[in-house]
Amino acid sequence: MLWFAMLYLKGRSYLAARGFLSHLLDEVPDWTSLDGELVSDWSLDALPEAPRSEAAIVRRPVYWTRTQWLEPFILEYDSISQAAKSLKAIQRNWAAYPTVLQRRTALISEALPPLPSKPKIFPFELPRTPMGGFTLLDEHRLLGSARCSSPFPNGEFSFVEDKEGPPSRAYRKLWEALVISGRLPAPGETCVDAGASPGGWTWALAQLGAKVLAVDRAPLEERVAAMPGVSYLQHDAFTLKPTDLGPVDWLFSDVICYPEALYAWVSAWREAGLAKNFICTIKMQGPTFDATATERFASIPGSKIIHLWHNRHELTWINLRS
Ligand SMILES: C[S@@+](CC[C@H](N)C(=O)[O-])C[C@H]1O[C@@H](n2cnc3c(N)ncnc32)[C@H](O)[C@@H]1O
């Protein structure tokens, strides 16, 4: 006889950002289970149905993730085909996160609809169809979630890259931040790109037709400086006052600095009211995670802080005027 049972759990499971499991464990010190790099804080108090009401979801700032499993459940199943059938009955997209029983996980995955895996051409709209995730706990139980914070399988994706135009690969994180924001600088909009050298972000912005003032103590790659709409100022970005540069549509920063220095600079721009939209990299100095500075950014109204798939030991702060 075929059998299966499903228990919804109160809490979340968080898939660690690549290389930053220790930061995630610091953020979720009361974790209840660890499967590979999937950290969970759910309790076994089963919920009668998916915790769609926000009140049922544990909310706390957790940043060092690839994706978060928002509606975790445990499915008890009889066979591989039964597991795949049960998942398909919920929705189409399920990304396997293999931990134990990798062959069995692969067999369930093969019985599910294929997931998009091709590199994406920038710009593109975020997929609207829900992305689920699952991992096996043992031979007859899997942990899954039909809704994840990232629309990409396990939070991972790649762009079709331009290997010739940009002088660094840093443009990929700006592309990702813009795709996630759902907004692009429009042709003719003004941008300050602080910490611009060698010019990956400036290249990406100029490609969109924006007017970019690239500021860095180091020189900008010549071919980027020569792009239409690009001007370059060799200067310490943080000693430039907002009034020195005037109003801008977009303020970008990829400056290597202490998060507090970036916060002070951004605060000056906000107080002056001279920048409409901000996308800045909060770079962690040394091996630790500066949670205090990160929370200061998070407390700015309208802020979103994420670890992008293309980020390294850094988070991205996005604050756009609605
Ligand atoms: C990670 S790199 C930026 C890469 C760049 N976004 C790209 O796409 O090519 C960091 C840059 O910050 C610059 N930088 C560090 N401190 C700075 C400061 N106080 N003012 C301006 N630039 C600074 C460095 O010279 C370096 O070029």
Summarised one tens digit per residue, pLDDT across range 173-211 is 999 999 999 999 999 999 999 999 999 999 999 999 999
Of 314, 186, 198, the closest CA to residue 256 belongs to 314
Gap between the Cα atoms of 322 and 319, Å rounded: 9
Would you state the pLDDT for residue 24?
A: 98
Would you state the pLDDT for residue 5?
A: 87
Gap between the Cα atoms of 82 and 225, Å rounded: 59
Pocket test for ligand 1, best of 178, 212, 216, 314 (most atoms within 8 A of CB): 216
Residue 261 alpha carbon, nearest atom of ligand 1: 19
pLDDT exceeds cutoff 90 at 313:
yes
Query: What number is the average pLDDT over the span 69-95?
Result: 96
Residues contacting 257, CB < 8 A, separation 6+: 195, 238, 283
Q: Is the CB of 221 under 6 A from ligand 1?
A: no
The answer as to CATH 3.40.50.150 being correct for domain 171-319 is: yes
Q: Is the CB of 238 under 6 A from ligand 1?
A: yes
Ligand 1 center to residue 215 CA distance, Å? 8
Query: What number is the average pLDDT over the span 201-230?
Result: 98
Region of 261 on the Ramachandran plot (φ > 0 left; ψ -120 to 50 alpha; else beta): alpha
Q: Is the CB of 195 under 6 A from ligand 1?
A: yes
pLDDT exceeds cutoff 50 at 55:
no
Residue 252 alpha carbon, nearest atom of ligand 1: 6
Would you state the pLDDT for residue 59?
A: 67
Ligand 1 center to residue 34 CA distance, Å? 37
Pocket test for ligand 1, best of 169, 192, 202, 217 (most atoms within 8 A of CB): 217
Query: What number is the average pLDDT over the span 47-68?
Result: 72
Would you state the pLDDT for residue 51?
A: 59
Alpha helices in 184-290 (DSSP H): 200-207, 222-225, 242-245, 259-272
Would you state the pLDDT for residue 197?
A: 98
If pLDDT is split at 50, 70 and 90, which confidence band does 47 have?
low
Q: Is the CB of 237 under 6 A from ligand 1?
A: yes
